[in-house]
Copies of this chain bind each other. A is one copy, B any other.
């Protein structure tokens, strides 16, 4: 049994990234060092520089990795036909993803690391997530840029409050569906007019 070769498998970028995620989860997004990271994958610190030119480059790879995970998760979900139900599901998926890992939330959705800016290539992934969300919203009737901005603010706000003020709980997660309905019902004319119209039609059908 070539035991040693089984244990001495390739130490790929992916393994380093996985370890980095683990450390970030345990000690905070910026709370780990290159030495700790190397230890976590059974290497010495200098060996990391064979795979990544700098710590910032690792953050950038994590940034891209996080958005790739989100995109994969989004594709795996099959959305209901009903646009509102689809928006709810998408929102739930997003918030669950965001609160599942506070370090990841900080890296992907906040600007927390002084001086870190994702590369253009990595940022493209973020834009794809955004575009996909906008598409789902469009099907639900929200096409105005301001509507989409409000949507992103509300969802990111829910996720942030959840991890900041009730970590591990569900106090803000439980508000997601309600928030979605709120946002989808917000059209200038909106349910009031719709309801009045329906009521009017019912009582004066033949005009």
Which residues in A have some Cβ–Cβ distance to B below 8 Å?
Answer: 27-31, 102, 106, 109-115, 146, 149-150, 152-158, 160-161, 163-164, 171-172, 174-175, 178-179, 182-183, 186, 191-192, 195-196, 199-200, 203
Contacts and interface: CB of A to CB of B under 8 A. Distances in A.
Contacts of A114: 27-31
A22 to B, nearest CB: 15
Contacts of A149: 161, 171-172, 175
Within the oligomer, what is the number of copies of this chain?
A: 2
A109 B164 contact: yes
A186 B196 CA distance: 18
A139 B57 CA distance: 50
Given A30-B30, A115-B28, A199-B200, A153 B146 contact: no
B110 A164 contact: yes
A172 to B, nearest CB: 6
A115 B160 contact: no
A5 B62 CA distance: 53
Given A29-B114, A111-B102, A115-B31, A153 B154 contact: yes
Closest 6 A/B residue pairs (Cβ)? A157-B157, A28-B114, A31-B114, A153-B157, A153-B161, A192-B195
A25 to B, nearest CB: 11
